[in-house]
Amino acid sequence: MQPMIRQYEVDTDRYAKCVATSKRVRFDIDRDVIRGRSFDFTTRFLPDGLSKVDRLDFLTSDEQRLLSQVQGRTYANIFGLVERYINVKMLDRSRDHWFGDQVALEALVRFSDEELKHQELFRRVEALAGRDPSAVRQALLAVHGIGRETADSIALYAAGLPLFVIDAYTRRVFSRLGLVEGGEPYDTLQRRFMDALPRDAALFNDYHAQIVNHAKDVCRKRPLCDRCPLTSVCPRVGVIP
C-alpha cells in the first residue's frame, strides 16, 4: 500500500510577504529593547489601565506599587510560557512544507525564530527584575506589616533572590553552637551569613530549610542532644542539663 501524500494549495505570495516583513522589522533585544536600562523599583511595572491596582483603594500607594511589580513579573513569566506553545505549533505546521514550498517553510521558520526571541526577551525581563535583591527587599519592607524576616522569606522562597533568612531557629541553633550570641540585630546576623556563603539562592534556600528542620526535630527549645549529629562540636551554650 502506498503512503498517502497530503497535497496543499499554498499561497506563496502571502508567505513571501511574511518573509519580507520579517527581514524588514527584525529587532535585537539589547539594541532595540533593553538598551542598557534596568528596572526602577520606585515605580509600578505595569500601567494602571492594565493592572487595575489603582482600584484597590484598601491598599496604600506602596502596596499598590508592589502589587504592580508582582503583576509585571507574573505577566512576563506567563507570556514566556505561552510563547513556547506558539513556537511548537509553528514548527509542527512547518512539517507540511519540508519538501514542498520553501518560501512557506522559510516564513514559518522565521516566525518560530521570532517566538524564540520573545522567550529570551521575557527571560531577560525576569532576570532584570530579580537582579537587585536589595531593591526588592526595600519594596517589600515599605509594605505595612512586613518585617525583615517576612520580606526576606518572600524574596528567597517566592522570588528566588539570594537573601538569607534569619529567624528564631537560626538564632537558637547557632547561639548554642557558640557561633553567634543570638541577640544581634537582624541585618548584622544576615550579613555574617551572606559574607560567609556564596551568593546562591538555591544554597540559601536549602541551608535555611535544613536549619529549620534541625531546630524543629532536634535542637528544640528542650533539645534532644543525644540525637544531634553536631554533638561532637556543639558546646551547648545556654542549654540547661
Domain's final residue, options 131, 147, 178: 131
- Domain identity same for 172 and 95: no
User: What 3-state DSSP class applies to 151?
Assistant: helix
72 and 171: one domain?
A: no
Cα separation of 172 and 155, whole Å?
23
Of 81, 111, 131, which one is at a domain's C-terminal end?
Answer: 131
Alpha helix positions (H), 95-200: 102-129, 133-141, 148-153, 168-176, 186-196
In a domain, 222, yes or no: yes
- Indicate whether 122 and 16 sit together in one domain: yes
User: Are 62 and 107 in a shared domain?
Assistant: yes
Angle between helices 168-176 and 201-217 (to 10 degrees): 70
End-to-end CA distance of the chain: 87
Residue-by-residue DSSP string for 18-30: HHHHHHHH---II
Q: 10-residue block means of pLDDT along the chain (241 residues)? A: 57 90 85 83 86 90 86 86 89 88 91 87 80 75 84 85 93 95 93 93 94 96 93 89 71
Same domain (yes/no): 28, 71 = yes
Residue-level pLDDT at 2: 52
Grid cell locating 200: 546562591
Q: Tell me, what's the pLDDT at 7?
A: 52
Decide if 166 contacts 182 (C-beta within 8 A). Answer: no
Q: Same domain for 66 and 176? A: no
Cell of 36: 542598557
Query: Residue 220's domain spans which residues?
Result: 163-227
Question: 87, 109 in Cβ contact below 8 A?
Answer: no
Domain boundary residue, one of 131, 151, 183: 131
Contact 26, 113 (CB under 8 A): no
The helix (H) or strand (E) run that includes residue 62 is: helix 61-94
Residue 147: inside a domain = no
Number of structural domains found in the chain: 2
pLDDT for position 1: 52
